[in-house]
Amino acid sequence: MKTYVYLDHFRGEVVPAAWEALGVAKSFGEAVGLVFGSGVAEIVGQAFEYGADEIIVADDAALVDFRPETYASTLSAVLAEDAPALILLPATTRTREVAAMSAIDLQSGVLTDVGALEFDGEQVSAIRPIYEGKLFEKTICAARPQFVLLRARAFPRPARVPGRSGTPRQVSAAGKALTTVAGYAASESSVSLADAGVIVAGGRGVSNAPALGLDEAATAQKGFELLGELAGLLGGAVGASRAVVDAGYIPYAHQVGQTGKVVAPDLYIAAGISGAIQHVVGIRSAKLVVAINKDAEAPIFQAARFGVVGDLFTILPALTAAFKQKLGK
Ligand SMILES: Cc1cc2nc3c(=O)[nH]c(=O)nc-3n(C[C@H](O)[C@H](O)[C@H](O)COP(=O)(O)OP(=O)(O)OC[C@H]3O[C@@H](n4cnc5c(N)ncnc54)[C@H](O)[C@@H]3O)c2cc1C
């Protein structure tokens, strides 16, 4: 069984979940990586090292910027020609568009946001959370190819084997872009919570430290400095509840929850977050949740494996000091 894997990247940087998808494909048999773009030789090399058995590459100036029209048309052409039963894609904003457009071309269906798979050698049963994670839905796609979008960090990343290589098969780009990219500009916050292994998140509690004698905004700034220090030490990212995003203490890119990001880190530290359901739905896939809150009755403790009842302005510096000592930093 050959499973196709779409290796999604932005300007040459492959999303980590693409390698996870490659690992899933390998567990079913052979993995065929698809690499589209312009000047993508490096990605092809990485894909062989991560275990791709074959690679199909469309390296074309027409694909220099991601445009769903050209990428989907190229994907449809390859899939129509090769007729695989299954294609896996890491779930990203780009792949949601590409998979949907290509599935329409090929009159097939898309299974989205998949966190677990069952596979009988022919048919995939995709399991995904619905209703804010209260239920798991099992879905199948009767048409072929089955397009399956995998959630980031839901599957293990395969080991990279330096020096493993192969010869890719070249194909042409297809389709015509109806829009062009005039330019890119970095946003003020480019945090990537979906791929983070550790997230240290703050809620309204970061703005509550009367002893500091500061106003709420200045207190929150101090609070997020403490969070950032711990996150930096652990190689993680800073997350936030909606309350502090709405208050303007941190950009929206950091928001976790129903209207923010759904995350799946190995460790999620929630400091000064009450644990409203709209926040908790975003952390259901976290492997370990630690809560720090002054209020022993705060609902976040129901979602946490470990809880510390106390003031985050005392607990966070103590945690950082303890980790520094333990890690020898
Ligand atoms: C449609 C909709 C969508 C939403 N989407 C989201 C979402 O995506 N993400 C999200 O987070 N929320 C979301 N919300 C908002 C959500 O309902 C809560 O209002 C929000 O999560 C509360 O944020 P908080 O826990 O930071 O603040 P609060 O609920 O005010 O809690 C602050 C907590 O900090 C503790 N605390 C205070 N001072 C300290 C201190 N010094 N040390 C330690 N602990 C302290 C308090 O005991 C309290 O538990 C949404 C709401 C709606 C209606």
- Is the pLDDT at 273 greater than 90, yes or no? yes
> For residue 150, which of 176, 118, 114 has the smallest C-alpha distance?
114
Assess whether the previous peptide bond of 299 is cis (omega < 30° from 0): no
Domain residue ranges in the chain: 2-170, 198-327
Distance from C-alpha of 38 to C-alpha of 47, rounded to nearest angstrom: 16
Q: Which CATH class is domain 198-327?
A: alpha beta
Q: How far is the CA of 204 from the centre of ligand 1 (A)?
A: 6
Distance from C-alpha of 168 to C-alpha of 200, rounded to nearest angstrom: 41
Q: How far apart are the first and last CA of the chain?
A: 48
pLDDT of 279 reads 98
Between 3.40.50.620, 3.40.30.10, 3.30.450.40, 3.40.50.880, what CATH number should domain 2-170 receive?
3.40.50.620
Write the pLDDT tens digit of every residue in 171-222. 999 999 999 999 998 776 667 898 899 999 999 999 999 999 999 999 999 9
**DSSP character string of 155-220:** SPPPPP-TT----PEE----S--SS--------S-----TT-SEEEEE-GGGG--GGG---HHHHH
Q: Judge if the beta carbon of residue 314 lies within 6 A of ligand 1.
A: no
Amino acid sitting at position 236: G
Distance from C-alpha of 26 to C-alpha of 32, rounded to nearest angstrom: 9
Q: Is 5 helix (H, G, I), strand (E, B) or coil?
A: strand
Q: Judge if the beta carbon of residue 219 lies within 6 A of ligand 1.
A: no
Distance from C-alpha of 266 to C-alpha of 288, rounded to nearest angstrom: 6
Residue 277, token pair as written in the block: 């359901």
pLDDT of 121 reads 83
Write the pLDDT tens digit of every residue in 70-96. 999 999 999 999 999 999 999 999 999
Query: What is the percent of the chain with per-residue pLDDT over 90, rounded to a whole number?
Result: 94
Write the pLDDT tens digit of every residue in 104-128. 999 999 999 999 999 988 899 999 9
Of 200, 245, 254, 273, which is best to mutate to test ligand 1, by the most ligand atoms within 8 angstroms of its C-beta?
Answer: 273
> For residue 148, which of 205, 94, 193, 91 has the smallest C-alpha distance?
91
- Is the pLDDT at 8 greater than 90, yes or no? yes
pLDDT of 195 reads 86
- Mean pLDDT, the chain, integer: 96
Distance from C-alpha of 185 to C-alpha of 39, rounded to nearest angstrom: 21
Secondary structure of 66-108 as H, E, C letters: CCHHHHHHHHHHHHHHHCCCEEEEECCHHHHHHHHHHHHHCCC
- Nearest atom (ligand 1) to Cα of 243: 23
pTM of this prediction exceeds 0.95: no
Q: Do domains 2-170 and 198-327 have the same CATH topology?
A: yes
pLDDT of 10 reads 95
Residue 308, token pair as written in the block: 């510390």
Distance from C-alpha of 138 to C-alpha of 197, rounded to nearest angstrom: 27
Contact between 133 and 284 (Cβ < 8 Å): yes
